[in-house]
Structure 1
Amino acid sequence: MSEQNSPIQADSLPRQDIKTNPSYTANPVLLMTQTDSRDKWSKKMDFLLSVIGFAVDLGNVWRFPYICYQNGGGAFLIPYTLMAIFGGVPLFYMELALGQFHRTGAISIWKRICPIFKGIGFAICIIALYVSFYYNTIIAWALYYFYSSFTGTLPWTSCDNPWNTPNCTNYFGKSNVTWTTFSKSPAEEFYTRKVLEIQKSSGLYDIGGIRWQLILCLFLIFTIVYFSLWKGVKTSGKVVWVTATLPYIVLLILLVRGATLPGAWRGIVFYLRPDWEKLMSTAVWVDAAAQIFFSLGPGFGVLLALASYNHFNNNCYRDAIVTSAVNCLTSFLSGFVIFTVLGYMAEMRDVEVEDVAKDKGPSLLFITYPEAIANMVGSTFFAIIFFLMMVTLGLDSTFGGLEAVITAVMDEYPHILAKQRELFVLSLITICFLGSLTTLTHGGAYVVKLLEEFGAGCSILAVVLLEAIAVSWFYGIQRFCNDVKAMLGFTPGIFWKVCWVAISPAFLAFIIVSSLLDQPPLMLFDYHYPEWSISVGYLIGASSFICIPFYMVYKLVWTPGSLKQVRKS
């Protein structure tokens, strides 16, 4: 795919300006675009673990396994792999290369690529804020479970608790109990009636009061995040050695335990059994493309930010291949962990596996899996390590998402924020905490679902699409490839160029159009979202994307000269 040459020793060459170097496009040499005062990763592994930690998140544990078995089991791996090769990985590589070459965040980088697209950077920051408003609440739920697990008998084991209802049915180990459509497991009632207390809310019209226990959990989460980010990559790079590696240890422990459970084989067969007819459905290919893009995370500005602290000659090509492969394999591994347990539950309930896993959302993590854990030998131990894994998985992604905003804003306004990082990070964390308060109410789960559906849905895909177009068509694919050659000593091959120019943007356009044309009714538990809330959701999605055309209009109106001059100025 590439032509190998000896890499240029970048850090020893004098600083130059890209626009004043007339031989740049024909004979690329190192062009220092950043002063040596910029922070750098202490070790290469700090960077790799940070990228892996961002890409491997809670969605790998619940979304991929469910989508896989919903869309043809083992057959789904075919569209998933193709979408990764031709769509996700090329854009992942592109963002790492952009961040490493220009050494700046998601806003100011557009001054050097195509200034008229600078609104993309502002849109990325707004999307990151929306994600922080709900994603950290899910981590707070996991922390609540983690705290509740330190007991001899897990609180979601029986129906004898104050929050249980007459519909609570504990069927494990009991042959005389019948499971009906009205039955609720102890784990489900613990999640809905104890953790969320959703029974005290009638929906988005009345979300109720704030759960103080969840506020304390969220405060602790943001405290950890603050002290991990306040000094920059020097501190966050050390924290990820724990948060990015611990989940793999826990996954392996849970996989071994799950494989020894009665009926585990039923879950594995269901997970991998190919349904070739599913491949004829457009929805399967849309799901595969959406899963790979949201899993790898191009467009969130995180890869730009993390790569901007690399040394100029770091091999970002190899990093992109390695971290993408780790992410995809982690998703596949987590499927085995989840479905061994689902097979066990199907065996215990005497039902089919498809009747156990009916929800791809957080309830798979907070109802289905905890229910199985509660009935294992050593349940307390497995509950503690499982929810500890969930907390660390979530923290990694939060580190990356907020670092993207921090880097973008500080690079855009260095004269104001250069020496005020600690204060700026504290202000950002405070904004995220206050923005999360509605998700901590009795009806907070409804708000989480709304933000999850619209806060970073089609808007982030549209951002990635415009980013790919701006780099490949406006900045120029040859110029971008020259940048890569200046860093790595070799030019990307024809495969990467074709993907960047045509295939990856086409995949993204396909997902966006298909998603907009097929909008299933939004519901959570038994609650159907009213029409006005769907309109609010669309406004949330549009509020970030609208920055892009607004900035284009501003640039065209206030910058003198022709369109070509405006585009380059």
Structure 2
Amino acid sequence: MTGTTRSAAPETPETRETWSHNTGFILAAIGSAVGLGNIWRFPGVAYESGGGAFLIPYLVALLTAGIPILFLDYAIGHRYRAAAPLAYRRMARPAEALGWFQIMLSFVISVYYAAVVAWSLSYFVYAFDLRWGEDTLGFFVGDYLQVGDPVISTSVVPAVAIPLVLVWVAVLLIIAAGVANGVQRVNIIFIPLLVVAFTGLVVRSLTLPGAMDGLNALFTPDWSALTDLNVWIAAYAQIFFSLSIAFGIMVTYASYQRRKANMTSSGLVVAFANSSFEILAGIGVFATLGFFAHQQQVEVAELEGLTGPILSFVTFPAVISEMPGGNIFGVVFFASLVLAGFTSIISILLGVAASVQEKFGLGRRASAILVSVLCGTLSISLFSTTSGLLALDTVDQFANNVGIVVSAIVMTVVVVWVLRRGEVLRRHLNAVSTFKVGRVWVALIGILVPGFLVVMLGQKLVSLVSDGYEDLPAWYLAVFGWGMLGFVVVAALVLTAIPWKGRDDLSFRAWPELEEEQR
């Protein structure tokens, strides 16, 4: 790459590293989208939101919000050939701040997301001898995480810190190797391996006693749920969070695509592959929970811990302990979590590293080292301590349910209404793709999506302000919740104010040139 030098000439395809082929881009984008949330979030959300009936709002949300915003990310990255800050700056200089807001969200998410990958790596090892014993909850929060009171602890837990260091070293090596030689190669190996491993888990789970009871609990439709606004909000939220959209990741990935890459067809493959994996995960998880309920002689509805980390690190270990051949099932399950989480965190860090590289004129390796060391240090300091679980849960709640939603609202309003780039980006997608998008796409990203997200954000803000979160002290939420969001805003403004030392963006000319585009 040529990020260490200035260039007075217009950027050409040869001056930016690209994916070796479209399959590499698609697998990397799928790797980013398919993460831990697909496995531990979708099944529980679907179950609690109408079962089989939930698939209707889920599909509507995919078609009206998920794919349109994914296309928007692709269009911005591919047309303006840069990570989010520089891509938005090339649209209009003040918009750079929006790019940094998205990248700082990625920065925050990467810091805590790596900790969950480290937990999965630990449990992959523990699964060989079922080290968690019979009291899986006590082992997870006590013996393993050593959870204490909601304070800012400096007591490092070695069992978390050691795998966390390994995760960050691996991330550094892959990001430093580049897009084609690092990120692409990892995803070409990991994504097929993940699909094969998880498909094997699903097949095994379907043979267990009680599996059909679990599937009936998941897919039996509650049609009355379709009249509940909260169910529709849950569907849009699930699609939104699972596709890795609106916080700079897909903008960066698309910027490394070749000039004449087929963007919309690739986007459809990524979106439907992600949703297919979510449904596959739902089948596997609830078939396994059906077996657990059968063993406990209770109904599936009476089980606890059907979503989030508790599902993966408490409920599933308990199931594995009672399952014939549980060791093998556990090893494959936690290996799948590691693969899914690792491909996602690589995509998150690539956007941050690319943004730093472009802004400060650093080389690829220098930016990878700087970003990985900084993120890794914060990650180990905050999330491998005895207060790590509470801090992680709080930061995740505010980053995902407030930060990313705000980012999407601002992005759609700025691009469509303030900068008037909706039609330009639509024509760009149509110029390079076989699947054409009509003017309804601009209406979706300019009206429907921000309108619905405002409702979703308003509901969440009212809940957080009036009820707090998980009975945590107000000062704790002020530090790790609202304080984190304040940090993202301030950091975005500071980074925007720093003069550019990398490529001179004024030399850039978008391709193909369109008459509607105005500076």
Query: Is 2:418 aligned against 1:476?
Result: no
Between 1:428-437 and 1:472-481, the stretch displaced more is 472-481
Post-superposition CA distance 1:311-350 (Å, at most 9, x none) = 1111101011111011111111100100011111111111
Task: Kindly indicate whether the alpha-carbon contact (under 8 Å) linking 2:86 and 2:96 is maintained by their aligned counterparts in 1.
Answer: yes
Aligned letter for 2:170? I
**Deviations 1:345-366 (CA, angstroms, capped at 9, x unpaired):** 1111111212214442201000
Deviation, 1:94, is 1.2
Which has the greater radius of gyration? 1
CA apart distance, 1:41: 0.8
Partner of 1:291: 238
Of 193, 215, 218, the match for 2:161: 215
C-alpha root-mean-square deviation of aligned residues, in Å? Answer: 2.4
Q: CA deviation at 1:111?
A: 2.2
Match of 1:430 in 2: 373
> In structure 2, what is the Cα distance between the partners aligned to 1:521 and 1:352?
32
Report if aligned partners of 1:247, 1:393 keep a CA contact under 8 Å in 2.
Answer: yes
Q: CA deviation at 1:227?
A: 1.2
Show structure 2 runs of 5+ residues with no match: 1-6, 500-516
The CA distance in 1 between the partners of 2:271 and 2:8, in whole Å, is: 33
Equivalences for 1:419-568 in 2 at 5 Å?
420-436=363-379, 437-473=381-417, 474-488=419-433, 492-519=437-464, 520-523=467-470, 528-536=471-479, 537-545=481-489
Aligned with 1:65 (options 38, 43, 57): 43
Report 1:87-98 matches (<5 A).
87-98=65-76
Of stretches 347-356 and 324-333 in structure 1, the one that deviates more from structure 2 is 347-356
CA contact (8 A) 1:463 1:545 kept: no
Measure, in 1, the Cα distance between the counterparts of 2:307 and 2:454: 25
Task: Give the distance between the partners of 1:111 and 1:117, measured in 2 at CA.
Answer: 5
Matches within 5 A, 1:284-363: 284-363=231-310
Letter of the structure 2 residue corresponding to residue 457 of structure 1: N
- Match of residue 150, structure 2, among 184, 188, 204: 204
Contact 1:128/1:405 (<8 A) preserved? yes
* 8 Å Cα contact 1:105/1:409 also seen in 2: no
2:90 equivalent to 1:112: yes
CA contact (8 A) 2:100 2:496 kept: no
> Given that residues 151 and 387 in structure 2 are in contact (C-alpha distance below 8 angstroms), is that contact kept between their aligned partners in structure 1?
no
Match of 1:230 among 176, 196, 199: 176
Aligned to 2:17: 39
Q: Which structure's residues are more often helix, by fraction?
A: 2
How many residues are paired up? 490
Query: What amino acid does structure 1 have at the position aligned with 2:487?
Result: S
- The equivalences for 1:178-189 within 5 A come to 186-189=135-138
CA contact (8 A) 2:190 2:343 kept: yes
Contact 2:140 2:314 (C-alpha < 8 Å) held by counterparts: yes
Q: CA deviation at 1:118?
A: 1.3
1:339-418 equivalent positions in 2, closer than 5 A:
339-413=286-360, 416-417=361-362
Q: What percent of counterpart residues are identical? A: 27
Partner of 2:201: 254
What is the Cα deviation at residue 500 of structure 1? 2.3
Please report the TM-score for the alignment, with normalisation by the length of structure 2. Answer: 0.89
Structure 2 distance, partners of 1:552, 1:103, is: 18
Tell me how far 1:550 sits from its aligned partner: 8.0
Contact 1:286 1:514 in 2 (8 A): no
Distance 2:152 2:498 in 1: 40
Q: Once the two structures are superposed, what CA deviation does each residue of 1:61-81 show, in whole Å capped at 9, x if it has no partner? A: 010100101111111111111
CA-CA distance at 1:457 after TM superposition: 2.7
Give how far 1:435 is off: 0.9
Please identify, of 451-460 and 47-56, the stretch whose mean Cα deviation from structure 2 is larger: 451-460
- Which one of the candidate residues 101, 104, 115 is aligned to 1:123? 101
1:127-154 Cα offsets, whole Å, 9 max, x none, are 1121112111011111111122233xx1
Structure 2 CA distance for partners of 1:518 and 1:409, relative to 1, 3 Å: same
Q: 1:273 to 1:300 in 2, by over 3 A?
A: same
The one-letter code matched in structure 1 to 2:39 is V
Contact 1:456 1:541 (8 Å CA) reproduced:
no
In structure 1, the gaps of 5 or more residues are 1-14, 18-31, 159-185, 556-566
* Alpha carbons 1:46, 1:241 under 8 Å: kept: yes
SS at match of 2:85: coil
Distance 1:195 1:533 in 2: 23
CA 113–490 in structure 1, closer or farther in 2 if over 3 Å, else same = farther
**Contact kept in structure 1, 2:50 and 2:225, CA below 8 Å:** yes
Equivalent in 228, 231, 244 of residue 281 of structure 1 = 228
> C-alpha separation between the residues in 1 aligned to 2:266 and 2:449?
19
1:370-407 deviation line (CA, Å, top 9, x unaligned): 21112222221111111111111110110100001112
1:114–1:568 contact (8 Å) kept in structure 2: no
Label 1:16 to 1:409 Cα distance change in 2 as closer, same or farther (>3 A).
Answer: closer
Is residue 2:139 matched to residue 1:194? no
